[in-house]
Amino acid sequence: MIRIAVRNLAPFDRLRARFHPVVGPAQRLASLVPRNTRAGARRHIAAHYDLGNRLFESCLDRQLVYSCAYFPRADATIDEAQEAKLERICERLDLRPAHHLLEIGPGWGALAIHAAREHGCRVTTTISREQHAYATAGVRELGPESSVSVVLEDYRDLEGSYDRLVSVEMIEAVGRQYFEEFFRRCSALLRDDGLMVLQAIVIDDRLYEAETAWPSLRGHGYDERFRRLWRFYLASSEAGFRERRIRDLQLALAKPGWRGDELAAEPAARGGGEDAMGGAGLEPATFAL
């Protein structure tokens, strides 16, 4: 039903366009009201990601990667697809052991752990409170030689200089008002020859599948209202992806001092692939930062 609704949104889009000259100024005025301040960001993160790891363990892959997967072949499992996505990002970052990678919005730490384990680089990763213990435990499994630092910091408060920077489907939560500040901060944190990969859903809706896990979740504080809210959220997300109203992008962003010949090469061309909903692969692009 929601897919049918999504298919029929075009007339409403045209209607909104007709009324935009009237409502546009009011919308722009409303957008000036600060919402995603540091305190606001902490509330928003807690409302979504601090719902308890049990919820996410019931519907994500074994590493709890909460972002679009990359299917290198049609019969790949979700675990294989998420592992392929992590490696694809590392390839686009051209990660080397000498690099220091900063990750903004890491979820439960899967990419940081993968980058450190498979590419030997140093990683600093920012994280929410509920995810902190989970990610820290995963980092400890790397052993005493681990070079992954897990910190509780807002991206606006980060300091230092990094060779590489990655942010996977976190920008949707930044807020349009803060886009300029977000990219300015990323640029300031990157060395003059640094490289950044940004993966983003190109609308403020994020989509994932679940939900046979409900009986086991009912007894852990998730009530019927919560179940209905999340079913609608996930169903509308799936419908948006299947009907191509929303897509997922990977952007490679280079500082002016970066020199390299492989950045613009599309990894899918070397092996093909499909996105998390079975359509075209993640769409690459290269820009100066």
- Ordered structural domains, the chain, with CATH: 34-202+247-288 (3.40.50.150)
Instruction: Name which residue leads in pLDDT, 269 or 44.
Output: 44
Could you give the dihedral angle defined by the CA atoms of residues 100, 103, 104 and 108, in that order, rounded to the nearest 10 degrees? Answer: -150
- CB within 8 Å of 44: residues ≥ 6 apart: 36, 173
What is the pLDDT at residue 287? Answer: 54
Q: How confident is the model at residue 93 (pLDDT cuts 50, 70, 90)?
A: very high
Q: How far apart are CA 282 and CA 67, in angstroms?
A: 12
> Is the predicted pLDDT of residue 13 greater than 50, yes or no?
yes
* pLDDT at residue 207, rounded to an integer: 33
Contact 39, 253 (CB under 8 A): no
pLDDT of residue 32: 58
Which pLDDT score is estimated for 52? 57
Region of poorest pLDDT, from 6-15, 40-49, 98-107, 125-134: 40-49
Q: What is the CA radius of gyration of the chain?
A: 19
| Least confident span in 23-27, 109-113, 268-272 | 268-272
Q: Are 147 and 121 in contact, with CB atoms under 8 Å apart?
A: yes
DSSP 240: H
Task: Give the helix/strand (H/E) hosting 59.
Answer: none
Look at 80-84, 116-120, 151-155 and tell me which has the smallest mean pLDDT. Answer: 151-155
Least confident among 58-72, 93-107, 138-152, 205-219: 205-219
The pLDDT-based confidence of 236 (bands split at 50, 70, 90) is confident
pLDDT of residue 235: 86
Q: Could you tell me the pTM of the whole model?
A: 0.62
Residue 174: per-residue pLDDT: 84
- Predicted confidence at residue 101, as pLDDT, reads 95
Which of 237, 53, 231 minimizes the C-alpha distance to 128? Answer: 53
- Percent of the chain residues topping a pLDDT of 70: 62
pLDDT score recorded for residue 73: 92
For 169-185, the pLDDT digits (tens) are 888 888 778 889 999 99
pLDDT at 166 over 90: yes
**CA proximity to 237, closest of 247, 226, 249:** 247
Query: What is the per-residue pLDDT across 237-255, written as a single tens digit (0 to 9) for each?
Result: 888 888 888 888 888 989 9
Query: 65-74, 89-98, 172-181 — which one is most confidently predicted on average?
Result: 89-98
Burial (CB count within 10 angstroms: exposed 0-12, middle 13-18, buried 19+), residue 243: middle
For the residues 89-99, what does the mean pLDDT come to? 94
Q: Phi then psi for 113, rounded to 5 degrees? A: -65, -40
Distance CA 132, CA 155 (A): 16
Find the DSSP H helices in 141-285: 179-189, 214-218, 224-242
116-130, 173-187, 220-234: which range is least confident on average?
Answer: 220-234
pLDDT at 217 over 60: no
Dmax (CA) for the chain in angstroms is 61
Alpha-carbon distance 253 to 92, whole Å? 10
- What is the average pLDDT across 185-213? 73
Alpha helices in the chain (DSSP H): 2-7, 10-30, 38-49, 53-57, 78-93, 110-119, 129-140, 179-189, 214-218, 224-242
Binned at pLDDT 50, 70 and 90, residue 92 comes out as very high
| Residue 155 DSSP SS3 | helix
Q: 78-93 and 110-119 helices cross at what angle (nearest 10)?
A: 60
Residue with tokens 């992008």: 249
Of 270, 217, 280, nearest to 68 by C-alpha is 280
